[in-house]
Homo-oligomer: A and B are copies of this chain.
Amino acid sequence: MKIAVCEGDGIGHEVIPPAKEVLKHFLPDADYFDVFVGYDKWKETGESSSDSDIALFKSSDAILFGAITTPPVPEYKSVILRIRQELDLYANLRPVKGSIFGQDFDIMIVRENTEGLYSGIEEIGEERSTTLRVITKHGSERIAKMACTLSIERGHKMPLVIGNKANVLKSDVLFRDSCIKTAGLMGVKTKPMFIDALTFDVLMHPLSYDVIVTTNLFGDILSDACGYLTGGLGMLPSANIGEKNAFFEPVHGSAPDIAGQGIANPSAAIRSAAMMLDYFGMKKEAGIVEDAVIKVISSGVKTPDLGGKNSTKEAGEKILEYIKKI
Contacts and interface: CB of A to CB of B under 8 A. Distances in A.
Specify how many copies of this chain sit in the oligomer: 2
Contacts of A128: 134-137, 174
Contact of A137 (B126, B173, B199, B203): B126
Most buried by B among A127, A133, A136, A218: A133
Nearest to A231: B204
Given A130-B132, A132-B132, A122 B170 contact: yes
Given A199-B221, A220-B196, A167 B131 contact: no
Interface stretch (A13-21, A145-153, A222-230): A222-230
A203 to B, nearest CB: 4
Most buried by B among A125, A128, A221, A224: A221
A131 B196 contact: no
Contacts of A221: 195-196, 199, 218, 221
Nearest to A226: B200
Contacts of A122: 169-171
A165 interface: yes
A186 interface: no
A185 interface: no
Contacts of A167: 70, 78
17 contacts: A78-B168, A122-B169, A122-B170, A124-B173, A127-B138, A129-B174, A131-B132, A131-B170, A165-B217, A165-B220, A168-B217, A195-B221, A199-B199, A199-B221, A199-B225, A203-B225, A221-B221
Interface of A: 70, 74, 78, 81, 117-118, 122, 124-138, 165, 167-171, 173-174, 195-197, 199-200, 203-204, 217-218, 220-221, 223-225, 227-228, 232-233
